[in-house]
A and B are shown apart, each in its own frame.
Chain A
Amino acid sequence: MQPRKVLAVDDSKLVLKMYEVMLRDYAVVTAADGVEALTRLAEHPDVDLVLLDINMPNMNGLEVLDTLHAQGRLPGLAVVVVTTEGGEGEVARGLGAGAAAYITKPFDGPNLLGLISGLPARSQS
Chain B
Amino acid sequence: MSEPGGSQENPRMDLASGIGAELVEELRTTLEKAAALLHVLESNLQHVPPQPDGASGEQRTTELEKRLERTESDVAELASQLSVSERQTSRLMNLYVATYQLHATLIGEEVEDTIAEIAVNLLGAEKFVLLLKADEGAGHRVALARGIKPGEHPLYDGGVYAQGDPMVDAVLADGVLRLGPFAGSPALAAVPLKVQGEIVGAIVFLKLFDHKPSLRTEDRELLDLLSAHAASALFAAQAFATKERRLRTLESLVKLARGE
A complexed with B: yes
1/0 per position for A14-35, CB-CB distance to B under 8 A? 1111101110101111100000
In this assembly, does A105 line the interface, its C-beta being within 8 Å of a C-beta of chain B? yes
Residue in contact with B87 in the complex, picked from A13, A15, A110, CB distance below 8 Å: A110
Residue in contact with A27 in the complex, picked from B1, B100, B210, B211, CB distance below 8 Å: B1
1/0 per position for B115-152, CB-CB distance to A under 8 A? 00110111110100000000000000000000000000
In this assembly, does B13 line the interface, its C-beta being within 8 Å of a C-beta of chain A? yes
Tell me, in angstroms, the Cα distance from A20 to B104 when the chains sit together.
15
Which partner residue on chain A sits nearest B17 by CB separation? A21
Quote the shortest CB–CB distance from B258 to chain A (angstroms): 41
Contact flag A29-B3 (CB < 8 Å), given A14-B97, A14-B121, A106-B124: yes
Q: In the complex the two chains form, is A109's CB within 8 Å of B6's CB?
A: no
Q: In the complex the two chains form, is B118's CB within 8 Å of A110's CB?
A: no
Contact flag A18-B210 (CB < 8 Å), given A13-B101, A13-B114, A106-B124: no
Q: How large is the interface on A (under 10, 10 to 19, 20 to 34, 35 or more residues)?
A: 20 to 34
Quote the shortest CB–CB distance from A73 to chain B (angstroms): 18
Report chain A residues within 8 Å CB of B74.
none
Contact flag A87-B210 (CB < 8 Å), given A14-B97, A28-B1, A29-B6: yes
Report chain B residues within 8 Å CB of A26.
1
Q: Which of B36-44, B88-96, B182-190, B228-236 contacts A (4 or more CB under 8 A)?
A: B88-96
Which partner residue on chain B sits nearest A29 by CB separation? B6
In this assembly, does A84 line the interface, its C-beta being within 8 Å of a C-beta of chain B? yes
In this assembly, does B197 line the interface, its C-beta being within 8 Å of a C-beta of chain A? no
Tell me, in angstroms, the Cα distance from A86 to B93 when the chains sit together.
24
Q: In the complex the two chains form, is B212's CB within 8 Å of A106's CB?
A: yes
Report chain A residues within 8 Å CB of B5.
29, 40, 43-44
Q: In the complex the two chains form, is A14's CB within 8 Å of B118's CB?
A: yes
Report chain B residues within 8 Å CB of A86.
209-211
Report chain B residues within 8 Å CB of A44.
3, 5
**Chain A residues engaging chain B, CB cutoff 8 angstroms:** 5, 12-18, 20-22, 24, 26-30, 40, 43-44, 84, 86-87, 104-106, 108-110
**Chain B residues engaging chain A, CB cutoff 8 angstroms:** 1-3, 5-7, 13-14, 16-17, 83, 86-87, 89-90, 93-94, 96-98, 100-101, 104, 114, 117-118, 120-124, 126, 209-212
- Among all A-B residue pairs, the 10 with the closest Cβ atoms: A109-B90, A86-B211, A29-B6, A14-B117, A110-B86, A21-B17, A29-B3, A12-B117, A14-B101, A30-B7
